[in-house]
């Protein structure tokens, strides 16, 4: 799919979720100073664990560093591989990729109005709010419903810092939950591969074990740099949330496609009738989006709002021509 897109050389790349806002200069400066390249512990450097623990209001022993949220997800899905693993549809394709390489079964929970899932089956849930691909967050009552039925919640909160509606983490309502966190999106550094798992100590130990068997040591210079500039997080959170919220507002105004208003992240997931056709027609007009089939729903497309407003406005015009013939 991505090769197809690259070969066609679209003017607007609204497909993968690569944030376009520049990384914070303080972080780049701290990275320049982080010149110690030795191995570190599999659970992460003490200063990194302390910094993340402070953000989450937990103890450092409840934090493990991971080489990107993806590795945290892999570690947790591996830990719960023998349980009934469930995730709402539409889903982040990474869950399916991880389940496939590990030979883990993954069940899907259907969603209704506003992309709200019906949590009734007992099991270990992998949930992601603010959500990729829909951008929605769950109301607190739904999060309560989730923790009441789940034996454990793996809460993928990669977008928790990009939020414009009230957000409740399952970890606030239950101790049977672990948060997968990442600096990829909030700091616009997906290539640096740094994130964390925040959860019960026994779960965190299993993540360190998984690290040891795979990456062994999450990148230490990045851990040092992030720990040094962690104080900028509240300001950065406000800045990126404002920027992406504005783009979502623009989409609501300019796009002639029907979609649920996002409460966070930087995606919208409009219904277009035939997602594959919309993808093809948009690509012909120089705009790449991703067909909803990748997320388990062929009738939709995912649009990543990763360009400045004037360029987005131009892309939306093309999308209206290409895809607005749907329902
Ligand atoms: N979860 C979700 C829902 C994502 O969208 C992404 C990245 N696109 C990830 C996890 C993984 O992010 P990373 O490994 O860069 O932290």
Q: Is the CB of residue 276 less than 8 Å from the CB of residue 300?
A: no
What are the domain boundaries of the chain? 2-22+234-323, 25-231
Query: What Rg value do the Cα atoms of the chain yield, rounded?
Result: 19
Q: Are strands 267-268 and 150-156 parallel, antiparallel or unpaired?
A: unpaired
Mean pLDDT of the chain: 97
Q: What is the mean pLDDT of residues 135-146?
A: 98
| Pocket lined around ligand 1, Cβ cut-off 6 Å | 17, 68-70, 92, 94, 128, 132, 156, 158, 182, 184, 190, 195
Residue-level pLDDT at 298 = 97
Substitution site in 17, 74, 94, 211 for ligand 1 pocket (most atoms within 8 Å of beta carbon)? 94
Q: How many CB atoms lie within 10 A of CB 107?
A: 12
Spatial separation of the C-alpha atoms in residues 116 and 88, rounded to whole Å = 9
Tokens at 235, concatenated:
């300001």
Dist. CA 193 → ligand 1 center (Å): 10
Residue-level pLDDT at 170 = 98
For domain 2-22+234-323, the CATH class is alpha beta
Closest ligand 1 atom to 69 CA: 16
> Atom 12 in ligand 1: which residue has the minimum CA distance?
69
For domain 25-231, the CATH class is alpha beta
Substitution site in 91, 184, 194, 302 for ligand 1 pocket (most atoms within 8 Å of beta carbon)? 184
Residue-level pLDDT at 290 = 98
Spatial separation of the C-alpha atoms in residues 137 and 263, rounded to whole Å = 6
Q: What is the mean pLDDT of residues 285-312?
A: 97
Closest ligand 1 atom to 131 CA: 3
Q: Binning pLDDT at 50, 70 and 90, where does residue 288 land? A: very high
Dist. CA 69 → ligand 1 center (Å): 6
The H or E element that residue 200 is part of is none
Residue-level pLDDT at 1 = 86
Q: Is the CB of residue 242 less than 8 Å from the CB of residue 264?
A: no
Spatial separation of the C-alpha atoms in residues 109 and 86, rounded to whole Å = 7
Residue-level pLDDT at 136 = 98
Ramachandran region, residue 316 (left: φ > 0; alpha: ψ -120 to 50; beta: rest): alpha
Dihedral (Cα; 205, 207, 213, 218), 10-degree rounding = -110
Substitution site in 15, 23, 66, 70 for ligand 1 pocket (most atoms within 8 Å of beta carbon)? 70
Dist. CA 304 → ligand 1 center (Å): 13
pLDDT, greater one: 325 or 183: 183
| In the predicted structure, residue 32 carries a pLDDT above the cut 70 | yes
Spatial separation of the C-alpha atoms in residues 220 and 226, rounded to whole Å = 10
Residue-level pLDDT at 226 = 98
Characterize 218-239 residue by residue with b for buried, 16 or more Cβ atoms within 10 angstroms of its Cβ, and e for exposed.
Answer: bbbbbbbbbbbbbebbeebeee
Dist. CA 204 → ligand 1 center (Å): 19
């Amino acid at each position: 799919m991505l090769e197809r897109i690259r070969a066609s050389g679209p003017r607007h790349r609204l497909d993968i979720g690569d944030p376009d806002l520049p990384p914070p200069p303080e972080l780049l400066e701290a990275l320049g100073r982080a010149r110690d390249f030795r191995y570190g512990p599999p659970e992460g450097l003490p200063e990194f664990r302390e910094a993340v623990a402070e953000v989450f209001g937990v103890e450092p022993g409840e934090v493990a560093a991971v080489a990107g949220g993806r590795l945290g997800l892999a570690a947790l899905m591996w830990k719960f591989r023998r349980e009934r693993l469930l995730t709402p549809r539409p889903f982040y394709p990474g869950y399916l990729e991880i389940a496939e390489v590990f030979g883990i079964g993954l069940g899907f929970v259907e969603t209704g109005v506003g992309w709200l899932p019906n949590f009734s089956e007992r099991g270990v849930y992998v949930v992601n709010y603010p959500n990729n691909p829909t951008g929605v967050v769950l109301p607190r009552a739904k999060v309560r419903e989730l923790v009441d039925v789940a034996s454990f919640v793996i809460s993928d909160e990669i977008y928790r810092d990009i939020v414009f509606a009230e957000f409740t983490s399952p970890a606030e309502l239950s101790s049977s939950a672990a948060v997968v966190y990442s600096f990829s999106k909030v700091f616009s550094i997906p290539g640096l591969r740094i994130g964390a798992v925040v959860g019960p100590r026994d779960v965190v130990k299993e993540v360190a074990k998984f690290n040891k068997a795979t990456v062994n040591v999450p990148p230490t210079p990045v851990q040092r740099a992030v720990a040094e500039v962690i104080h900028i997080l509240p300001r950065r959170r406000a800045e990126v949330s404002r920027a992406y919220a504005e783009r979502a507002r623009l989409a609501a105004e300019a796009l002639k496609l029907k979609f649920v208003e996002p409460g966070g992240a930087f995606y919208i997931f409009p219904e277009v009738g035939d997602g594959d056709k919309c993808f093809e027609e948009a690509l012909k007009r120089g705009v790449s989006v991703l067909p909803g089939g990748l997320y388990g729903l062929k009738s939709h497309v995912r649009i990543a709002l990763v360009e400045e407003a004037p360029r987005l406005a131009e892309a939306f015009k093309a999308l209206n021509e290409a895809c607005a013939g749907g329902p």
